[in-house]
Amino acid sequence: MADLFSSSKKSKYEDPLLSLKATVELLLDRIASCEKRIEALDEKQELIFRELSKLSEEVDNAKKQQASKHDELIGKLKTLGIEYANLKSTILELRRELDEKAKIDEVAEIKNYLYMKKEGAL
């Protein structure tokens, strides 16, 4: 661009108005070229923005699904915990019943032993 305004030796027949007109046309061409590049960059920026928005939405959906899956697994863990506690309680209750029955059977066996001894069967 410096060449356009340089004061190099010019033909004595060169019209300064034509030179200025050529300079203006060149500048207008450059402006048009810059505008086209800006337009292309704007389009590219818009495409990138749309892609980023799409990816952001996908990330949000994945987070929601992950949170939903996490909540589902926590629910299953709680349910299993309750079932485990219930089974443990039932097992303890059954063991107590077995212990009581064993004591009753032991007492009955002792009574039977004493009775047989008393009767002379032993």
Residues 6+ apart with CB under 8 A from 19: 10
- The residue with tokens 């305004």 is 5
How far apart (Å, rounded) are the C-alpha atoms in residues 54 and 59?
A: 9
Confidence of residue 1 (pLDDT cuts 50, 70, 90): very low
Q: Is the pLDDT of residue 8 over 80?
A: no
Q: Is the pLDDT of residue 7 over 60?
A: no
Q: Is the Cα torsion angle 91, 97, 103, 108 positive or negative in sign?
A: negative
Give 64-92 pLDDT, tens digit per residue: 999 999 999 999 999 999 999 999 999 99
pTM of the model: 0.48
